[in-house]
Amino acid sequence: MNAASDKSTALRYDWQRAEIDKLFTLPFADLMFAAQQVHRAHFDPNQVQVSTLLSIKTGRCPEDCAYCPQSVRFDTGLESEELLPLAAVIASARQAKQNGSSRFCMGAAWRSPKDKDIDRVIEMVTAVKAEGLETCLTLGMLTKPQAQRLQAAGLDYYNHNLDTSPEFYPEIISTRTYQDRRDTLAHVRDAGMHVCCGGILGMGESRDDRLGLLQELANQQPHPESVPINMLVRVEGTPLAEAQAFDAIEFVRTIAVARILMPQSHVRLSAGREGMSEEMQALCFLAGANSIFYGEKLLTTPNPATDRDRHLFAKLGIHAQ
């Protein structure tokens, strides 16, 4: 307990799994208290950053990520869409800003974009920034020159999740390696952009895998500025459609440990909120989550309506950033 408290303002990049495990196994009240201490040392505890995520190119992804309804390998009934026209992206960005979002994230179901794709995406980044919003992209793997081009265009954040531990990763994905993901993150960081990087809970991983994911995230130097923690959304037709429901308290513990390990990062309560009770979300905010996605859809999976989030924020005394 004291060890966690003493580190409330420290930044470390050398966490060992045994240390992270000690945090996970603290009594729940002690872990929440430690996380709150860290959170309050760096953030307004009653402020949550709000983003909106739009799928700008949907479906027909050649990868085999076992959780993803956009893979061409799985029959999920998803209708694919080509890259959205610029006008549609601008209209969505304007609506997002009107709803209170400060960051607009755009995702495309590519394994890795072609250079001609980057040309069109840069137009979207420029247009969204002109609306007064921060920008984020998730397009798959990037080359170093592509990352440099996106940074030069003014992109604020690039999302590329590690998903799980290095050990469990081959059970979920075979079409790209863990090192491929690390390489893209390095290209993004070297180009001077902010990193958005997190993972997914509830894919059948062990607690040790969750420790491994958090170790990988927390030992990046600097830490990812944004850390999305996703609850698996079980989609019919994907290999993980019948995965066992994930324990709510274990999810909250993961949020709390992420907050302690990465004191200055925005920890985003991300996919899966549609299936979370208000009480579970409130515990996540208490554990140090301070970012969410607004809007009824996250790429292709459901998300709480904006009005529901506003109602919950009002009940908890939270204001959006």
Residue 281, phi then psi, degrees to nearest 5: -65, -40
SS3 state of residue 51: strand
Residues 6+ apart with CB under 8 A from 205: 164, 165, 168, 213
Nearest CA to 66 out of 245, 192, 206, 242 is that of 242
How far apart are alpha carbons 65 and 74 in whole angstroms? 10
Q: What angle do CA 4, 290, 15 make, to 5 degrees?
A: 35
- Residues known to be catalytic: 61, 65, 68, 105, 136, 196, 268
Nearest CA to 135 out of 113, 150, 148, 147 is that of 150
How far apart are alpha carbons 191 and 120 in whole angstroms? 19
Residue 17 identity (one-letter amino acid): R
Sequential DSSP letters for 129-167: HHTT-EEEEE-S---HHHHHHHHHTT--EEE---BS-TT
Residues 137/107, Cβ–Cβ less than 8 Å: yes
Q: How many CB atoms lie within 10 A of CB 119?
A: 11
How far apart are alpha carbons 147 and 25 in whole angstroms? 39
Question: Which ranges of 192-277 does DSSP label H, i.e. alpha helix?
Answer: 207-218, 248-261
Residue that the structure tokens 């430690």 belong to = 34
